[in-house]
Amino acid sequence: MSVAASAEHPAILVLCSCPGETIALELARTLVRERLAACVNRVPGVTSVYLWEGRICEDSEQLLVIKTTPACYPALEMRLKTLHPYEIPEIIVIPVVTGSRQYLAWLSTATDPDSAASTPLSVHPT
C-alpha cells in the first residue's frame, strides 16, 4: 500500500490490535525506538469479535494507536508484520487531515531518522 505524503495528510494514525499487554508494549517501544512512530497509545480492554476460518471468535485485545507520517508507513507496516504474532495482523491507516501545527511538526521531527532528538515541547505531546 502506498500512503503518499501531502499537505492534506501530514500524518497518519495506524491502528493495530494485539493479544496482550506484553506484546503491545513491546511493539510500541520498538516502533518509537526505531523512529517509525512518534508516539503509540496503548488502549487496554478492547474486545474484538471477528470471523476467522468460518467461526465467530471473541478475544480480549489491546489496541495500539500509532502516530506516524506517511513516509514512515511502508517500513512501519513491514516491521509490524515481522514482529506481530498474528498470521494477519490488523493494520489500518487513518489519514490525519489537520491538527495542531506544533504537534504535527514534533511528530515529523520525532520520526525523522536524521534528527538527533525530537523538538522539545513545554507540554507532553500526546
Q: Is the pLDDT of residue 7 over 60?
A: no
Query: For the residues 78-105, what does the mean pLDDT come to?
Result: 96
CB 61, CB 100: distance < 8 Å:
no
Instruction: Specify the residue for cell string 468460518.
Output: 54
Q: How confident is the model at residue 116 (pLDDT cuts 50, 70, 90)?
A: low
Q: How confident is the model at residue 115 (pLDDT cuts 50, 70, 90)?
A: confident
Q: Which residue has the higher pLDDT, 121 or 73?
A: 73
Residue 64 is inside which H or E element, if any? strand 55-68
Show the DSSP H helices in the chain as ranges. 21-33, 73-83, 101-110
Mean pLDDT of the chain: 90
Of all residues in the chain, the percent with pLDDT exceeding 90 is 81
* pLDDT for 53: 95
Q: Give the chain's domains with CATH numbers.
A: 11-110 (3.30.70.120)
C-alpha grid cell for residue 71?
Answer: 513516509
Q: Is the pLDDT of residue 39 over 90?
A: yes
Q: Which residues pair with 14 in a beta bridge?
A: 66, 93
